[in-house]
Amino acid sequence: MTQRVCFVTIGATAAFNQLLQAVLDSLFLRTLQVSGYTKLLLQYGKDGHSILEAFRAKVASGDADDHGIDISGFDFNKMGLGQEMSSVKAAEDRTEGVVISHAGSGSILDAMRIDVPLIAVPNTSLLHNHQVDLAEELARQGYLVHGRLDNLSAALAESDILRRTRQTWPPPNNGADPSGRGLAGVMDDEMGFYD
């Protein structure tokens, strides 16, 4: 059987339990199943283990349905998430899947560098939140899908369209940094922030 992976990361610094709850929702799991996904891998942070265990208990008691999706998770990987993000790439025994991430710049850049379909979901509970702006702008430019907690199923469908049209990172160039401003300058340019 061909495997198809959905990898979800909430990041390393701030809890985003709402995203975990959204991807464990029966409607979203059903959407994964219908879309051919076989595995849901969660990076759930320091507080998310209890959410996953509560879901497993509900499945065991018949109060929830995992729709045949193999669901597993871990708290944090101090070596980074490159291996987990790469697990969604197509291979001989695997159909290309998707990464669903909080909309933090580090996680977004990691997924864009690996060149995997990405749904970025802003954590709107953060103070001085930049995640909405970042997700909106990078979606506008064709790098990712701006996902919303209340409709991840629609974002999953959008990711199938993006899979065929997404822009690659870094943008093609001749290797020279014309601005002389390094990564900060590239990010400013990509986000449309001009001096």
Closest CA to 123 of 131, 113, 112, 115: 131
Question: What's this model's pTM, rounded to 2 decimal places?
Answer: 0.86
pLDDT value at residue 126: 84
Q: What does the pLDDT read at residue 172?
A: 59
CA distance linking residue 119 with residue 100, whole number of Å: 5
* 3-state class (DSSP) for residue 68: coil
50 burial class (0-12, 13-18, 19+ CB within 10 angstroms)?
exposed
CB atoms within 10 A of CB 7: 23
Q: Which segments of the chain have a pLDDT < 70?
A: 171-183, 186, 194-195
**Residues contacting residue 174 through CB under 8 Å, at least 6 positions apart:** none
**Per-residue model confidence (pLDDT) at position 39:** 97
pLDDT for position 16: 94
CA pair distance 58, 65, nearest whole angstrom: 8
Q: How many CB atoms lie within 10 A of CB 62?
A: 7
CA–CA distance, 33 with 4 (Å, rounded to integer): 10
Q: Is the dihedral of CA 179, 142, 41, 4 positive or negative?
A: negative
Convert the pLDDT of each residue in 100-113 to its tens digit.
999 999 999 999 99
Three-state SS at 103: coil
